[in-house]
């Protein structure tokens, strides 16, 4: 079998186009969704992601601001910026890029964000609402994975899903979303015994561990749908400036076994940003008391 490649890049472009149409409609009613991204320090990968978020938000017709702070920013100064953004009526979504430099407390920072503006879905109010099945702002990467899965498989009821990774930004909310979609969900991680065997039970395998090509072809059930969330940069080849990006799955090996797989790049990554824009529109509509007018 040669797996189909799930084109997240194309899906994300379509989603952004629909969001742009919706934003155009909202603008005629006087509502322009606004996104503020906060970047502390100089992490090169984070700089690239933040730049893309800013550009794509503007291309969708939204207000987009980036606040770049030095790596030695004091916790109190970061909290003061968040308080200002919480109080700014033109800003509907706030995202503080993670990881933060050492010395800053990410938990305290996330708790300081108004839950209604928490477009990362990390505030305990949103985490709790997702868990109990109440309306919530949902973390962008797992939302994007669910859209790709639903587009490919339709109803997910009864599927055996294995999520490898248990982070608050990805693994845990992914498990909640799969459970809400009636999957039988296993959350595996670095301490899971017989990890490869657990993975082989999966109809849906979601890899979010952050270890380049850890998941081999023989970890995958024939016919499975594989969602690779990993974004790992390999060391540069001799004579090259940058190493290539690879996922957590050995793509070539997996392709021979799975029914469908997301590539890296061009899979989940672009969906993350499109879902961030979607969450910002959602937050703006809720703040204004308007129904969504999805295109």
At its nearest, how many Å lie between ligand GUE and the CB of residue 110? 9
For 67-70, which contacts have Cβ atoms below 8 Å and span 24 or more sequence positions? 67/36, 67/37, 67/38, 67/39, 68/39, 69/38, 69/39, 69/40, 69/41, 70/40, 70/41
| Residues at the site binding ligand GUE, with contacts judged by CB under 6 A | 48-49, 52, 95-98, 120, 140-141, 231, 245, 264-266, 269-270, 272-273
**Please, which residues have CB within 8 angstroms of residue 293's CB and are 6 or more apart in sequence?**
22, 25, 26
154 appears as a binding residue in the annotation: no
Closest to ligand GUE by CB, 97 vs 280, is 97
Phi-psi label, residue 138: left if phi above 0, alpha if psi -120 to 50, beta otherwise: beta
Q: How far is the CB of 266 from ligand GUE (least distance, A)?
A: 5
What gap in Å lies between CA 256 and CA 249, rounded to an integer?
12
Choose between 125 and 245: whose C-beta lies nearer to ligand GUE.
245
| 97 annotated active-site | yes
Phi, psi (degrees; rounded to nearest 5) at 66? -120, 130
Yes or no: say if 96 and 113 are a contact pair by the CB < 8 Å rule: yes
3-state secondary structure (DSSP) of residue 265: coil
Residue 28 Cβ, how far from ligand GUE at the closest point, in Å? 30
Q: Is 167 annotated as a binding residue?
A: yes
Q: Do the beta carbons of residue 229 and residue 251 sit within 8 Å?
A: no
Kindly tell me which of 170 and 205 has the beta carbon lying closer to ligand GUE.
Answer: 170
Residue 139 Cβ, how far from ligand GUE at the closest point, in Å? 7
Closest-by-Cβ residue to ligand GUE is: 269
Question: Which of 114, 118, 120, 248 is flagged as catalytic?
Answer: 120
Q: Active-site residue 240, yes or no?
A: no
Closest distance between ligand GUE and the C-beta of residue 56, in Å? 9
Q: What is the Cα Rg of the chain in Å? A: 19
Has 53 been annotated as catalytic?
yes
* For ligand GUE, the closer CB: 57 or 264: 264
DSSP 8-state symbol, 155: -
Known binder of ligand: residue 196?
A: no
Cα–Cα distance measured from residue 151 to residue 278, given in angstroms and rounded to the nearest whole number: 17
Within 13 Å and on the Cβ side, how many CA atoms surround 184?
A: 7
Q: Which is nearer to ligand GUE, 26 or 35 (CB)?
A: 35
Q: Is 200 within 8 Å of 221 (Cβ atoms)?
A: yes
Smallest gap from residue 171 Cβ to ligand GUE (A): 13
Please check if 200 is assigned to a binding site: no
Q: 47 exposed, middle or buried (CB, 10 Å; 0-12, 13-18, 19+)?
A: middle
Q: Which is nearer to ligand GUE, 26 or 260 (CB)?
A: 260
Extract the annotated binding site.
165-167, 231
Extract the annotated binding site for NADP(+).
165-167, 231
Which residues are the active-site residues?
53, 97, 120
């Amino acid at each position: 079998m040669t797996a189909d490649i799930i084109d997240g890049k194309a899906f994300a472009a379509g989603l952004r186009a629909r969001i742009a149409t919706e934003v155009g409609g909202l603008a005629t009613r006087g509502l322009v969704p606004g996104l503020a991204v906060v970047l502390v320090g100089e992490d090169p990968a984070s700089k690239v992601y933040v730049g893309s978020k800013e550009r794509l938000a503007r291309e969708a017709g939204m207000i987009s601001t980036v606040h770049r702070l030095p790596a030695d920013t004091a916790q109190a100064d970061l909290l003061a910026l968040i308080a200002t953004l919480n109080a700014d009526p033109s800003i509907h979504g706030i995202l503080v890029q993670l990881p933060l430099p050492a010395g800053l407390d990410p938990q305290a920072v996330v708790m300081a964000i108004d839950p209604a503006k928490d477009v990362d879905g990390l505030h305990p109010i949103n985490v709790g609402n997702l868990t109990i099945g109440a309306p919530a702002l949902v973390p962008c990467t797992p939302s994007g994975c669910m859209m790709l899965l639903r587009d490919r498989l339709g109803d997910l009821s009864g599927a055996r899903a294995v999520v490898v990774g248990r982070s608050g930004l990805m693994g845990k909310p992914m498990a909640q979303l799969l459970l809400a979609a009636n999957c039988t969900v296993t959350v595996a991680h670095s301490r899971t015994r017989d990890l490869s065997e657990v993975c082989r039970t999966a109809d849906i395998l979601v890899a979010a561990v952050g270890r380049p090509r850890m998941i081999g072809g023989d970890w995958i059930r024939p016919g499975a749908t594989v969602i690779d969330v990993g974004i790992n940069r390999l060391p540069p080849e001799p004579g090259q400036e940058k190493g290539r990006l690879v996922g957590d799955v050995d793509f070539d090996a997996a392709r021979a076994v799975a029914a469908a797989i997301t590539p890296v790049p061009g899979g989940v990554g672009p969906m993350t940003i499109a879902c961030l824009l979607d969450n910002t529109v959602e937050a703006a509509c809720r703040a204004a008391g308007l129904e969504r007018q999805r295109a």
